Amino acid sequence: MNSWVFFVARRLLGSRHSRRGGAGGLAILGITAGVATLVVVLAVMNGFQLGTIENLLELNSFHLRLETDITVDTYTPENPIGRSLQNAATSETTAIVPFTEIQTLARGYWPEPQGIMIRGVPPDWLERDRGAAEQLEVPVGAFDLSDPTGIVLGTELSRALGVRVGDTVAVTHIPAGGSRPAEVQLTVTGLFRSGYLEFDRSWGFVSLASAADVLDARDPVIYGIKVSDRFDVEDIAEQLRDTIPEVTVATWREFNRGIFGALRMEKSMMVFLVGLIFLVVAGNIYQLLRRSILERSEEIAILRAIGAGAQQIRFAFILEGWFIGTIGTLTGMLIGLFLSGNLNEIFQLLEWVTGLLGDQGVQVFSPSYFYIEEIPRRISPQELLAIASGAVGIAVVAARFAANSVVRIQPQELLRNE
């Protein structure tokens, strides 16, 4: 392609022709706004969604979940299934944790009982499972399950019950073989916070021995397994099904299918709605270049008369669309990455400014309404590449359709009329 085509495309983009009214700048501004908005929206959505996913995987479903017919009262660390799992463990296995789940009622200082889930885990659970230890924060007390009557509660659950570390919680349960509920007093040894409201509001932890002996539980024992690469668990699941056929194996995708599907749909719809900005920008670019071609009919005719081909001239206008898309995309990326990286600081500045204008100011993240202290952000390089490709591509496609008008210009008739 001749170098004059690039020269013409640059001149077209930088033209100050009065009748064009700066539409090229508006098209670049539109792409910039669309790209920046999409980058910020995806970064925030990724932060919230991945935070939720990590909480679910690290604390609830694990990467693989093996349901057994062993009840907690008959559980021993050296049971046949436990030994088989230890023998089947590979270098990819990072944690194997037995636990049980008990749905029950708890009552503290306030008279209203709260429905909670007590999870029985080994006393050294957080030492075995570093991923769970990273997700759990223990702001008050300690995660100590050595006391048979000890329990660790979520911070929001302790607030709902009206108890603190050292207080007792009355747990209502139905003893094994009994038909009438009984009440057991457990002492709060620590408070945990995961950042996930459902867990912090309704979970408590006791040791497996306490679940069997103190609560008289007969619930089945479940093994949670974590591996180094959670996206590659299907082969491991099949191997476990063949090795230990008496257990039911569920991967994290299967166990969390409902919530993960909802998160995926939420993200897809948000991307679709924000992506509509690009359709508006594409229409703007199309009208801009189509009008530019009509206004420059005489100039195009002269170029055609001195030997320029219709395809070359059309390519010049396509290049102008590519310049618009590239400049707008790069500018939008820089703005979007800056905003994403400094979003919490921007909100803090907003709170400070509004505080100068009033007594209270605007508190963006009030604990009364939001269970977060700051906005989480996760930026995916693959998504950035997809956004850039889509923004530039839609600009080029719009320019391609607009440039079809070039072939309809007849230089002989146009110059004869001039």
- pLDDT tens, 193-218? 998 888 999 999 999 999 998 888 88
Q: Do 285 and 324 form a contact (C-beta atoms < 8 A)?
A: yes
Q: What's the rounded mean pLDDT across residues 15-28? A: 58
Domain that holds residue 271: 3-53+260-417
Q: Is the pLDDT at 39 greater than 60, yes or no?
A: yes
Q: Of the candidates 185, 209, 229, which is a domain's last residue?
A: 229
Asked whether residue 200 is assigned to any structural domain, the reply reads yes
Rounded to whole angstroms, the Cα distance separating 364 from 278 reads 30
Q: Do 391 and 329 form a contact (C-beta atoms < 8 A)?
A: yes
> Which pLDDT belongs to residue 18?
40
Q: Do 95 and 128 form a contact (C-beta atoms < 8 A)?
A: yes
Q: Of the candidates 229, 246, 280, which is a domain's last residue?
A: 229
- Helix (H) / strand (E) element for 266: namely helix 257-295
Q: Output DSSP code: residue 366.
A: -
> Which pLDDT belongs to residue 21?
44
Residues 325, 183 share a domain: no
Least confident among 10-14, 20-24, 27-31, 120-124: 20-24
Asked whether residue 328 is assigned to any structural domain, the reply reads yes
Q: Of the candidates 212, 229, 246, which is a domain's last residue?
A: 229
Residues 382, 283 share a domain: yes
Summarize pLDDT for 124-163 with one digit per residue, the tens: 999 989 989 988 999 999 999 989 999 999 999 999 999 9
Residues 85, 205 share a domain: yes
Residues 73, 151 share a domain: yes
Asked whether residue 268 is assigned to any structural domain, the reply reads yes
> Which pLDDT belongs to residue 99?
94
Residues 139, 108 share a domain: yes
| φ and ψ of 6, to 5 deg | -65, -40
Least confident among 128-132, 167-171, 173-177: 173-177
Write out the two tokens for 245.
Answer: 């056929």
Q: What is the mean pLDDT of the chain?
A: 82
Asked whether residue 393 is assigned to any structural domain, the reply reads yes
Least confident among 10-19, 218-227, 255-264: 10-19
Q: What's the rounded mean pLDDT across residues 250-275? A: 85
Q: Is the pLDDT at 14 greater than 60, yes or no?
A: no
Q: What's the rounded mean pLDDT across residues 334-353? A: 86
> Which pLDDT belongs to residue 125?
92
Q: Do 281 and 27 form a contact (C-beta atoms < 8 A)?
A: yes
Q: For the chain, what is the domain count?
A: 2
Residues 331, 405 share a domain: yes
Asked whether residue 31 is assigned to any structural domain, the reply reads yes
Q: Percentage of the chain surpassing pLDDT 70?
A: 82
Residues 214, 77 share a domain: yes
Residues 406, 274 share a domain: yes
- Helix (H) / strand (E) element for 289: namely helix 257-295
Least confident among 70-79, 131-140, 362-371: 362-371
Residue 173: pLDDT band (50, 70, 90) is confident
Q: Do 263 and 271 form a contact (C-beta atoms < 8 A)?
A: no
Residues 294, 155 share a domain: no
Residues 273, 218 share a domain: no
Q: Is the pLDDT at 337 greater than 50, yes or no?
A: yes
Residue 185: pLDDT band (50, 70, 90) is very high
Residues 159, 300 share a domain: no
Nearest in space to 39 (alpha carbons), one of 347, 376, 375, 340: 340
